[in-house]
Structure 1
């Protein structure tokens, strides 16, 4: 399953954990009652042997389903062993209503763990045992046997539907949590941007004006050239700091906006600054995720490469969403052409940063020189970036 339709949800076993533990508890109760019945019938040894054989297949999953449930659900060996043990237990309980209870709990448990087809295959031995339990001489024996078999098959289907519903509910809960976290992060970024604008940015703006006035007074006072140079250097440093702060504030606000709006704004500013028209086509999912910041940074770097190297007359930017949710970015220009070797490393920090960002999202990037001139860059962003990613750029 997935936290979204295109991301593998590695903890789907947690969604069915409560039901699995309940069904395992039912099987343990049935085994315990079977031991009591066997003791009353004078078959204590057989009862204990059956309990020792069957109990681990219910007790162990119920005890540590959270850390190991995914292993139990995927292990064909454990499922096959549980099938054999279940048949043995049902044969031992033959003629008792406990057999029907154990069979129902076991079929429901299997159908939660495996697909519907495999569940039906595993139910076949259970159905055969149920049919064998009935008296073939009884006119209604075969009818009841077929009804029991059909009931087991229906129970398998219902169990699978229940498991699918629980997993879907868990997936939706994860998506809701991610959406809330993204909104909270965006709100916090906006708050920080406002606070910095009202405090640091405002103070720096005033300091910039003050330093300009101080520099003019120093120049007019006819002081030595070293002092004038120092005043000019301080003024330049304050202006640079003010510009960097405003740029950081803009990035904070952009990070809180939808990716589609940021991309349109980025392309528009680049077009106005360079005079090169940008043909933009977007097909983005409704919500943003961890890939958004990397996609924006890669697009910005690719556009800067076009400005610096391509001498292009037009640029085309296409962002699409693949069938599995992956994001595809294509930037094409009609410039002089710019081919990047696969081993480009030293001195190409921008290109290296692009590769690192794309790789962190499980994707790839490649540059192609067009036959008629210009360059096409294809980049893909498959999944959420690694948690251990060191920020680059």
Structure 2
């Protein structure tokens, strides 16, 4: 996919485009305001009357307001047909006090460039047509006036094209900068994960491995020396717990070193492991569009959040069944975990605020906010909890999306194949 495909049509306006063209929009609006200020002075000096002053004052807000708050309201201005039509009409009206003056060509050129910048070439030319027609008839003086008007109209067309090209270049530069920043952030995150993995391997993992061997030896020695059966059983349970902790640590080390790219498989595997360990059936559904929108960065966050939410279900919910859904909603990746347990309680109901909930739920909220998203806990109709975590989609190039539905239960058997819609689908039968 090249830049033109990522950027979409010239008139497409998103947050990135709004920020990219903001400085140019403000500059052109300031040029228009400067011309209007000159026109106001000329109208007062020439005694043009209140009509000329009124026309200048009428046109000023269409430049002053966008220059003031384009960063927050730019998409509204660019998409609102009434505002665009109003700016077109006011631009023509603003030329009346400037008739026959070189300032008319300057104002028309700045206006045409502004329209081309955020509206694109086609719409910009349509909007600039009244300006061109007025300039062709707004100069007096025979052939000299006709030539001057034609030159002004031609300049208006050229400036519309120039504004369009400037908008494209600014958008392209913004995309390149965003991709470079994302690549650097991914590299920094990878380096941090690898450093953390090395530290865990050299400290916690090694200590747990040694402790596991020591506890196993202790249990065998107690058995040989005829210790009480309860003492031997406790020692073996302690050994099992240490081995489980060691396995979890090694799994975490592997996840830190891996760069996940298959969201559907990752969610299915996480649900399967949790279900096998707890004996609670879990059904996972991943929208193919979510797998395409998540990207490696969001996929890692989805895995971490899902793992924590499932642990919360195991520790606190007392659920008999869990549902997991990953979908794309309003250009964001939404993870929803539903259980039929005891419910969230008043401390967690609604949007999780600062300091609310246990450490696990705080971690979920903080991770969501780190990505610019949010997390909510709501009671489920009929009993239980619905946790919804929303993460803004990560822009990236991808091939065909993969997704599917995975039903996981204790001792589940898994098979894979093609669904009716030719998507990658995984299913599991509960034994």
Q: TM-score, normalised by structure 2?
A: 0.63
Q: Which residue of 2 aligns with 1:170?
A: 174
8 Å contact kept, 1:35–1:44:
no
Q: Which residue of 1 aligns with 2:248?
A: 244
Q: Does 1:52 align with 2:52?
A: no
Look up the SS of the partner of 1:15 in the other structure: helix
Supply the distance in 1 between the matched residues of 2:7 and 2:52 (Cα, whole angstroms): 49
The equivalences for 1:293-372 within 5 A come to 294-298=263-267, 300=269, 349=322, 352-353=323-324, 355-356=325-326, 361=333
8 Å contact kept, 2:14–2:75:
no
Relative to structure 1, the CA distance from residue 215 to residue 195 in structure 2 (aligned partners, 3 Å threshold; closer, same or farther) is same
Relative to structure 1, the CA distance from residue 192 to residue 6 in structure 2 (aligned partners, 3 Å threshold; closer, same or farther) is farther
Supply the distance in 1 between the matched residues of 2:107 and 2:55 (Cα, whole angstroms): 13
Relative to structure 1, the CA distance from residue 192 to residue 357 in structure 2 (aligned partners, 3 Å threshold; closer, same or farther) is farther
Number of paired residues? Answer: 304
Q: Which residue of 1 aligns with 2:257?
A: 253
Relative to structure 1, the CA distance from residue 6 to residue 14 in structure 2 (aligned partners, 3 Å threshold; closer, same or farther) is closer
> 1:357 offset after TM fit, Å?
5.9
Q: Which residue among 21, 28, 35 is the counterpart of 2:33?
A: 28
Supply the distance in 2 between the matched residues of 1:211 and 1:102 (Cα, whole angstroms): 84
Q: Which residue among 108, 119, 123 is the counterpart of 1:118?
A: 123
Relative to structure 1, the CA distance from residue 380 to residue 19 in structure 2 (aligned partners, 3 Å threshold; closer, same or farther) is farther
> 1:28 offset after TM fit, Å?
0.9
Q: Which residue of 1 aligns with 2:418?
A: 376
> 1:101 offset after TM fit, Å?
1.2
Relative to structure 1, the CA distance from residue 180 to residue 238 in structure 2 (aligned partners, 3 Å threshold; closer, same or farther) is same
8 Å contact kept, 1:294–1:358:
no
The equivalences for 1:211-250 within 5 A come to 211-250=215-254
Q: Which residue of 2 aligns with 1:105?
A: 110
Q: Which residue among 78, 88, 93 is the counterpart of 1:88?
A: 93
Look up the SS of the partner of 1:16 in the other structure: helix
> 1:53 offset after TM fit, Å?
0.3
- Larger radius of gyration, structure 1 or 2? 1
Supply the distance in 1 between the matched residues of 2:270 and 2:175 (Cα, whole angstroms): 35
Look up the SS of the partner of 1:110 in the other structure: helix
> 1:51 offset after TM fit, Å?
2.7
The structure with the greater share of residues assigned to strand is 2
Unaligned runs of 5+ in 1: 260-291, 305-320, 329-345, 382-393
Supply the distance in 2 between the matched residues of 1:144 and 1:3 (Cα, whole angstroms): 37
Supply the distance in 2 between the matched residues of 1:116 and 1:358 (Cα, whole angstroms): 32
Supply the distance in 2 between the matched residues of 1:28 and 1:94 (Cα, whole angstroms): 17
Moved more, 178-187 or 19-28: 178-187
Q: TM-score, normalised by structure 1?
A: 0.69
